[in-house]
Amino acid sequence: MANATMLKFGYPDTLVREFEHWVVLVRPAQVTLGSLVLASKSNATAYSDLSAEALVEQAEAVQSIETALREFCNYDRINYLMLMMVDPHVHFHVIPRYSEPRQWNGIEFPDAGWPGPPQLKIATEIGSDAVSTMTHQLKRLF
């Protein structure tokens, strides 16, 4: 059963990869090209409440994310932000970082915060058709 945070980020339509304890979702507001959400499937609202199995599996999810995003957008760095202020269930915003803008599907994606922290309020809204296209392209890389 999906929790409210997963649903907020478009699950199941934005689902790129599902693990036993985690899902990887395309983030509809693209802070940088390839922005994702790594969300726990549990109802935990504190990282310390996750099971040991979920924490072990997170390493597999992170490895899959980084391999796929390296191919998709050739990032220079990657940030994992656990904010959980608005959406309470355990999740991370996965923000690929790069010094030069990336192009995808006719859209330019700058990294407005480079080389500092990502600027979450400066995101590219790409629309549902582009989110669907990105989701399908990323699924093939996972």
47, 48, 32: which is closest to 97 by C-alpha?
32
Q: Is residue 1 predicted with pLDDT exceeding 90?
A: no
pLDDT tens sequence across 95-120: 999 999 999 999 999 999 999 999 99
What pLDDT does residue 106 have?
95
pLDDT tens sequence across 55-69: 999 999 999 999 999
Query: Are 82 and 47 in contact, with CB atoms under 8 Å apart?
Result: yes
Q: Is residue 136 predicted with pLDDT exceeding 90?
A: yes
**What are the distances in angstroms from CA 89 to CA 49, 53, 95?**
11, 17, 18
Give the chain's mean pLDDT: 97
pLDDT above 90 as % of the chain: 97
Query: Are 92 and 82 in contact, with CB atoms under 8 Å apart?
Result: yes
Fold topology of 4-141: HIT family, subunit A (3.30.428)
Query: Are 87 and 75 in contact, with CB atoms under 8 Å apart?
Result: no
Per-position DSSP letters for 10-21, written without gaps between them: TTTTTEEEE-SS
pLDDT tens sequence across 7-49: 999 999 999 999 999 999 999 999 999 999 999 999 999 999 9
Residues 6+ apart with CB under 8 A from 27: 9, 14, 35, 36, 37, 93, 94
CA 26 to chain centre: 5
Domain ranges (residues) in the chain: 4-141
What pLDDT does residue 125 have?
87
